[in-house]
Amino acid sequence: MKFSAHEWRGHFPLLANHPRLHYLDNAATGQLCAAAFDAVTHHELTQRANVLRGTYRLAEQADEAYEKARRQAAAYLNAAGVDEVVFTSGTTAAINLVAHAFGDGLKPGDEVALSLAEHHSNFVPWQMLRERCGIVLRFIPLSADGRLDLSRLDAAITPRCRLVAVTHASNVTGAVTDLAPIAAAARAAGARLLVDGAQRVQHGPVDVQALGADFYAFSGHKVFAPTGVGVLWGRGEALAALPPFLGGGGMIGRVTAAATTYAAPPRRFEAGTPPIAQAIGLGAALDWLRALVWEELNAHSARLAQRLIGELAALPGLTFLGPRDLRARLPIVAFNLAGIHPHDLCQVLDAHHVAVRGGHHCAQPLMDCFGVEGAVRASLAPYNTGADIDALLEGLRDAQRKLK
Ligand code: PLP
């Protein structure tokens, strides 16, 4: 059956409740899909109990639902094993977990390589590690349009490099990182590779085995699932080599007054009560997404983004951040209109029922590279239609009339 954005919208309860809303802030948060909504409701109404503790039937049902979610996440990522999936509260928590568990084993002078296009979630934890452990941070430079400059990897990934942490796709420019040369350089240096998948996962299943990564992090709320849950995938051997980060219930082997032994992954990294209902919702969303024909969905979003880029280019005073062509790009379009602050633009657009984000997008080092304080960002999902683009363009013309 041919993909229809209008039909797809029907799977998102909020969009049905807000027929006039033009939601173009999908890079911040995707709307909750019915599959996730139904799974959470079913769990809360029929099987709510804590997990991995109880021996009564209700608790066993909750255990099974939670572990099913782990299998569903493993399938979406094509993980080699279910135990490679650790539930966290989101991408930020997943990256911080690695920055502590892996990072605390580093010595002064060891190096971590990042790019300047990272979200603060994949930037600040490494700066904090530098303060704790005296590591050296090296940065993969960017080309003028904000892509990682792969011709200059040597400068950032040296023989002292212990970990490379890069985004799979920029939340500002939508540029998708070509990970193969980075994985090869990391391997050659004997370094681990952590990939921030927060933006990429919304646009179809990922094959972590093919990427050559050791760790992959993403958030549920960006894949049309609940907030408060995310995944850290770790290659079996890479996870097994890590000590725990947080201590508490559920992550132990045996606790005595003298010492504690730890459970094997993934439990070792899931101290305390996990986000149970959220993980179940995430699993259901990922299962639903995995069955879709992503070539059609992505072709639809790319067509809309191409049209948006074309029409924006005709507006006087408009500048883009990032590459204009949609090759190796997600449908994320960031721009500025001369003389108008991004927040003011967002307010005028809101009056047109257009929801977009304006600001630095938690990517200030990238903004510095572009020489701007911030930008407006329209980010598309397959439920967006031509009417959303029309409303955005109309709102921008209105803003130019009102604010200039
Ligand atoms: N990394 C990227 C590329 C992102 O776009 C985001 C959120 O926008 C994050 C990390 C942080 O995700 P979260 O706030 O869900 O932890």
Which tens digit of pLDDT belongs to each residue from 48-103? 999 988 899 999 999 999 999 999 999 999 999 999 999 999 999 999 999 999 99
Are 197 and 277 contained in the same domain? yes
Model pLDDT for residues 7-29, shown as the tens digit of each residue: 899 999 999 999 999 999 999 99
- On whether the pTM is more than 0.95, the answer is yes
pLDDT of residue 325: 77
User: Is residue 1 scored above 80 in pLDDT?
Assistant: no
- E-assigned strand segments in 200-338: 215-219, 230-234, 252-255, 260-262, 318-321, 332-337
Counting from 1 in the atom list of ligand 1, the atom nearest the Cα of 92 is: 16
Are 195 and 324 contained in the same domain? no
Are 79 and 216 contained in the same domain? yes
Whether the Cβ atoms of residue 321 and residue 372 lie closer than 8 Å to each other? yes
Query: Measuring from each residue's beta carbon to the nearest atom of ligand 1, which residues come in under 6 Å?
Result: 28, 90-92, 119, 121-122, 167, 171, 196, 198-199, 219
pLDDT of residue 101: 98
Ligand 1 center to 261 CA (angstroms): 33
Q: Bridge-partner residues for 112, per DSSP?
A: 137, 163
pLDDT of residue 197: 98
| CA 18-377-144 angle, 5° bins | 165
Mean pLDDT of the chain: 96
Q: Which residues are catalytic?
A: 362
User: Is residue 196 scored above 90 in pLDDT?
Assistant: yes
pLDDT of residue 52: 87
Are 331 and 261 contained in the same domain? no
- E-assigned strand segments in 27-117: 85-88, 111-115
Model pLDDT for residues 308-339, shown as the tens digit of each residue: 999 999 999 999 999 877 778 999 999 999 99
Are 269 and 346 contained in the same domain? no
The CATH number covering residue 306 comes to 3.90.1150.10
What mean pLDDT is predicted for residues 378-392?
98
Whether the Cβ atoms of residue 69 and residue 282 lie closer than 8 Å to each other? yes
The C-alpha atoms of residue 50 and residue 43 are separated, in whole angstroms, by 11
pLDDT of residue 326: 77
Question: Which band of pLDDT confidence, cut at 50, 70 and 90, is reported for residue 404?
Answer: confident
Domain count, the chain: 2
Helical spans, DSSP H, in 78-178: 91-101, 124-133, 153-156
Ligand 1 center to 120 CA (angstroms): 8
Taking CA atoms only, the protein residue closest to ligand 1 atom 14 is: 92
User: Is residue 244 scored above 90 in pLDDT?
Assistant: yes
Domain boundary among 241, 274, 290: 290
Are 181 and 313 contained in the same domain? no
Are 73 and 198 contained in the same domain? yes
Which residue among 98, 199, 201 has the greatest number of ligand 1 atoms within 8 angstroms of its CB, and so is best to mutate? Answer: 199
Ligand 1 center to 29 CA (angstroms): 9
pLDDT of residue 376: 98
| Domain span at 258 | 37-290
What mean pLDDT is predicted for residues 175-191?
98
Are 19 and 160 contained in the same domain? no
The C-alpha atoms of residue 334 and residue 339 are separated, in whole angstroms, by 16
Counting from 1 in the atom list of ligand 1, the atom nearest the Cα of 219 is: 15
Are 206 and 67 contained in the same domain? yes
Q: Which two structure tokens, joined as six digits, stand for 381? A: 């999902």
Handedness of CA 126, 128, 133, 136 (dihedral sign): positive
Model pLDDT for residues 116-159, shown as the tens digit of each residue: 999 999 999 999 999 999 999 999 999 999 999 999 999 999 99
